[in-house]
Amino acid sequence: MCVEVSVVVPTLNEQGNIVALVERLESAFSGIEWEVIFVDDDSVDGTADLVRKIGATNRRVRCVHRIGRRGLSSACIEGMLASSAPYLAVMDADMQHDEALLLRMLQVLKRGETDIVIGSRYMEGGTIGLLEPSRQIISRVASRISRWVMKTECSDPMSGFFMLSRDVFQSTVRKLSGIGFKILFDILASSPRALRVRELPYEFRTRQAGTSKFDATVAWEHVMLLLDKMIGHIVPIRFVLFSAVGLLGLAVHFSVLAIFFRLISLNFEISQALATLIAMTSNYLVNNVLTYRDVRLRGSGLFLGLLSFYAACSVGALANIGVASYVFGAGEKWWVAGLGGAIVGGVWNYSVSSVYTWKMFRKA
Ligand code: GDD
Ligand code: MN
């Protein structure tokens, strides 16, 4: 019998929820051929082991175990790509999403007039249960902003609970950003055509076991996702952030230079050298928590990464001076030459640090 619907469940330390969720799916889908694919990002609590153990005797249960990677959205994408069912659902492992909705979602999709069915907390009849007030505000503000970049109207674009047909997923998958926590929003904003949405209200329940993974990183990644959807087709979003941090570094450089040279009256060369070192270091640290937050370096990796960043930037500085001198020598205005050098140096620094610094030292 062919599997009709695959439920993709991203997991990060959800060991205490797996057994109960499988049982609930079992009863929610009676009479339907279904499977569940847990996509686990190498949880330390043994989630993947447990899923494989259940899967050894229950062929409906599968595990995609990802090592060295993180992210709710990218996990969902890989889970959906790992299945071949004609209908795909995404839901959380912690039982906050009401599994009783799944069958109705499937029925709606099967009628063929809808591309995607969304479980909504915000429409008439839905509730956000006991979500803390601060999270409620963040969720509503995020929904409001996100509507600007979406092609479709819907009351809960931040929902993590939905079902869509394989065709719709396949037609969107190459356009997805795969950044952050909000796979539904990514799909709605990336689809080449406005999707026909149907929403079903449900009560967002409280978590059963384990803890929420929502934190500052998740919020920041959503900002990255929004930027990516707005300008990512023109220039890589990390490059935009890297350049913005570079401008900030310029301000740091001049402030430090002014302090050492004018205020403390150190000699110019030493002041300039110190200003360069401090600006480079602060650029590195700011990029590490913003631009590369998802692959942030820590501990010894943070230190080795810094050394590699110095090395990359030194070559970048030489390229900068070389290009600027050449352009200036060719008779261009001083600021054109300066800008040209800065751009070449910046692109160099970005390229090298992105493929070297923030890749090499992650496991150091
Ligand atoms: N594989 C993987 N990788 N799974 C993850 C990751 C990750 O980096 N981060 C979180 N998860 C899993 C969790 O284990 C859980 O099953 C699910 O994603 C949701 O994480 P929670 O930490 O429970 O998120 P939440 O309750 O704050 O928010 C969820 O529900 C909202 C309402 O539908 C998310 O799905 C939100 O996107 C959604 O808006
Ligand atoms: Mn949750």
Tell the CATH superfamily of the 5-230 domain: Spore Coat Polysaccharide Biosynthesis Protein SpsA; Chain A (3.90.550.10)
Neighbours of ion ligand 2 (CB under 5 A): 92, 94, 96
pLDDT-derived band at 79, boundaries 50, 70, 90: very high
The protein residue with its alpha carbon nearest to ligand 1, atom 35, reads 160
CA atoms within 13 A on the CB side of 76: 29
Question: CA–CA separation, 116 vs 109, rounded Å?
Answer: 7
The pLDDT of residue 129: 74
Segment holding 34, helix H or strand E: strand 34-40
Q: Which atom of ligand 1 is nearest to the CA of 40?
A: 1
Question: CA–CA separation, 213 vs 250, rounded Å?
Answer: 35
Residues 6+ apart with CB under 8 A from 125: 201
The average confidence (pLDDT) of the chain is 92
User: For 123-126, which contacts have Cβ atoms below 8 Å and span 24 or more sequence positions?
Assistant: 123/155, 123/156, 123/199, 123/201, 124/201, 125/201, 126/155, 126/156, 126/201, 126/202, 126/203, 126/204
* Secondary structure letter of residue 127 according to DSSP: B
Q: For residue range 210-263, list pLDDT tens digits in order.
A: 999 888 888 888 889 999 998 998 999 999 999 999 999 999 999 999 999 989
Q: For residue range 97-131, list pLDDT tens digits in order.
A: 999 999 999 999 999 999 999 999 988 888 877 77
Domain boundaries, the chain: 5-230, 237-360
Q: For residue range 334-348, list pLDDT tens digits in order.
A: 889 988 998 999 999
Q: Which of 7, 9, 12, 187 to mutate to test the pocket of ligand 1 (most atoms within 8 A of CB)?
A: 12
Distance 92 CA to ligand 1 centre (A): 6
Question: CA–CA separation, 70 vs 170, rounded Å?
Answer: 22
Segment holding 163, helix H or strand E: strand 162-165
Task: Calculate mean pLDDT across residues 186-203.
Answer: 93
pLDDT(70) > 90:
no
pTM across the whole model: 0.85
The pLDDT of residue 348: 93
Q: For residue range 261-275, list pLDDT tens digits in order.
A: 989 988 888 998 899
pLDDT(58) > 70:
yes
The protein residue with its alpha carbon nearest to ligand 1, atom 21, reads 212
pLDDT(192) > 80:
yes
Tell me which range, 34-48, 290-304, 323-337, is most confidently predicted by mean pLDDT.
34-48
Q: Which of 11, 36, 213 to mutate to test the pocket of ligand 1 (most atoms within 8 A of CB)?
A: 213
The pLDDT of residue 146: 80
Looking at all shown ligands, the one closest to residue 204's CA atom is: 1
Distance 190 CA to ligand 1 centre (A): 20
Distance 214 CA to ligand 2 centre (A): 8
The pLDDT of residue 143: 80
Is any ligand 1 atom within 6 A of the Cβ of residue 41?
Answer: yes
Contact yes or no for 42/13 (Cβ under 8 A): no
pLDDT-derived band at 364, boundaries 50, 70, 90: low
The pLDDT of residue 357: 94
Q: Which of 43, 70, 72 to mutate to test the pocket of ligand 1 (most atoms within 8 A of CB)?
A: 72
The protein residue with its alpha carbon nearest to ligand 1, atom 30, reads 160
Contact yes or no for 320/299 (Cβ under 8 A): no
Structure tokens, 358: 């923030």
Distance 219 CA to ligand 2 centre (A): 15
Please give the share of the chain, as a percent, with pLDDT higher than 70.
99
pLDDT(151) > 80:
no
Q: For residue range 16-25, list pLDDT tens digits in order.
A: 999 999 999 9
